[in-house]
Structure 1
């Protein structure tokens, strides 16, 4: 009985109406995006020039936090998984897939796919271009370790945590849910970044640039909304086309409707259609006109012909 109630609840109207306005590039968002771009450029410049930020990187690395608090190592080894692209993408995709089914729209999944694509392209390009080595592979104390064939700057774990968990807040449908999910995403992103520094897998500047990279993608997502809407329309029309081809039905012309039973006529309608076609195909000469009222019926004419034949036989015989 409880299962029936749950299924009935899930089959109710979508939680998010299809005509609900999507986030747009407001003036505040544009200002934040510009500030984040400046911060991103400042961090890259500071590392390239070997400023105090690089010296702070070495101080934290030589402090070796994982040796100062070894009791946290086992716990944080599991916590850092919240920033790994594979597990987090699968978990968030499952949740957003359910939301897409509830809301009868592909937008949540398309927003996630777009953000992850932007994340991989932008962060991956900077990683390969700068080629920084991580703390465990550093060669010279005090050096920037840039252009050495590494792929550590910015932190992919940190940027992925910002984007993946931030998407949930971006797609929230109520202000209260948006606030709660924003705090949750911030805690996850800050925790993952700090954990990578504790474990010694990233420099502090790697984490700072990872936070900035992830926030840039979240702030720029409204610019992707028109392309996401067009992609959703295309995918839905493609699915409808495949369904039509699989059912053997011709595409429905504009302005017409198919029967509610999936476009297949019922047995009565098919029989009526066949009878109408047979009636139209009959020759006109086979139609027998009705006898006028003053003429005799067929039985009376037959009896008169029989009596006349009998008289002729009697007279000629």
Structure 2
């Protein structure tokens, strides 16, 4: 099976050194608290239709896509780096290869946990506030809340922060962590600004999307024990499956029967016992015959038959022959 080859390859790989799992340090807690306060401030500013909503309208009426139309086509492709589907596939492929090489499921489990948190938190706020986008706004100066929309916060921006930030979070060396942090920050900032340029999001949507994604990255150390237990459970299930792999599978259940048919093992067949051979050398049994036929006995193949050596010689005896090696008798002549 294909899974057998995969497990065999994993067993041949060298065990890498243990990577340091991020902990919820004092600095990380401070950053988390600051980002959370910024998140709440943005929500309150939009709910109260403050100066931030007025800035949203100014940027929207400025119509950046009309001011710089020459970059419109390029930014249409660049914004794909914030779409959940394509980015998740690309990052999952890279992390899957790392899991293969390092004998661990932690990279994939961290990605799955972060995407689950992203969809839950961002999706709940989107649906709860129901804000309309700039292209669907109905009243100038309004926050356009509770109108059935789903753009606050920006999903593209939050997804870019989380998906590309995972690479920095899982980096194994300080140098790689620094470079990947810069790269993920540039991509996240660029995706957020691009959505404002295209007119698909308000500026406040992007600010809240950056904060939402950063909160998820900062909170991941709290979920590391759960990730470790999940990984241990998956490997335990794998070992259990390996142990049960050699058993005989049950036969298909026929229609109308609720119990599986378990195949029974055949009893060991005893080797047939042959009757003693008569001393006459005929090789036949001394048992009687019934109706001219041999009695019902299991038939043994040639390799299982016991070779029989008849008693006595097959050649008739000749009393007039001299023993081999003896000189023949000479006739006695009279004299």
Q: Distance in 2 between matches of 1:84 and 1:12?
A: 34
**1:29 equivalenced with 2:28 (yes/no):** yes
In the TM superposition, residue 245 of structure 1 has moved relative to its aligned partner by 1.1
Q: Distance in 2 between matches of 1:21 and 1:90?
A: 26
DSSP-derived class of the 1:173 partner: coil
Q: Distance in 1 between matches of 2:71 and 2:134?
A: 19
Aligned length: 239
Q: Distance in 2 between matches of 1:96 and 1:147?
A: 39
Which residue in the other structure is 1:110 paired with? Answer: 109
CA contact (8 A) 2:20 2:172 kept: no
Which residue in the other structure is 1:128 paired with? Answer: 127
Which residue in the other structure is 1:217 paired with? Answer: 216
Stretches (4+) displaced over 4 A:
none
Q: Distance in 1 between matches of 2:94 and 2:201?
A: 30
Q: Distance in 1 between matches of 2:134 and 2:20?
A: 46
Which residue in the other structure is 1:43 paired with? Answer: 42
DSSP-derived class of the 2:104 partner: coil
Which aligned pairs between 1:1-317 and structure 2 lie closer than 5 A? 13-15=14-16, 17-18=17-18, 20-248=19-247
CA contact (8 A) 2:138 2:144 kept: yes
In the TM superposition, residue 243 of structure 1 has moved relative to its aligned partner by 1.7
DSSP-derived class of the 1:142 partner: coil
Deviations 1:70-94 (A, max 9, x none): 0111000000000000000000000
TM-score, normalised to structure 1's length? 0.74
Q: Distance in 2 between matches of 1:12 and 1:226?
A: 26
Q: Distance in 1 between matches of 2:182 and 2:175?
A: 11
Higher relative contact order (CA 8 A, sep 6+): 1
TM-score, normalised to structure 2's length? 0.70
CA contact (8 A) 2:82 2:160 kept: yes
Q: Distance in 2 between matches of 1:184 and 1:243?
A: 42
In the TM superposition, residue 247 of structure 1 has moved relative to its aligned partner by 2.6
In the TM superposition, residue 162 of structure 1 has moved relative to its aligned partner by 0.1
Q: Distance in 2 between matches of 1:119 and 1:34?
A: 18
Q: Distance in 2 between matches of 1:146 and 1:12?
A: 54
Which residue in the other structure is 1:273 paired with? Answer: none
In the TM superposition, residue 12 of structure 1 has moved relative to its aligned partner by 5.1
Gaps of 5+ in 2: 1-8, 249-335
Q: Distance in 2 between matches of 1:139 and 1:236?
A: 54
The structure number with the bigger radius of gyration is 2
DSSP-derived class of the 1:172 partner: coil
Q: Distance in 2 between matches of 1:97 and 1:241?
A: 23
In the TM superposition, residue 246 of structure 1 has moved relative to its aligned partner by 1.3
In the TM superposition, residue 21 of structure 1 has moved relative to its aligned partner by 3.0
DSSP-derived class of the 1:247 partner: coil
DSSP-derived class of the 2:245 partner: helix
In the TM superposition, residue 239 of structure 1 has moved relative to its aligned partner by 1.1
Deviations 1:104-162 (A, max 9, x none): 00000000000000000000000000000000000000000000000000000000000
In the TM superposition, residue 240 of structure 1 has moved relative to its aligned partner by 1.2
Gaps of 5+ in 1: 1-7, 250-317
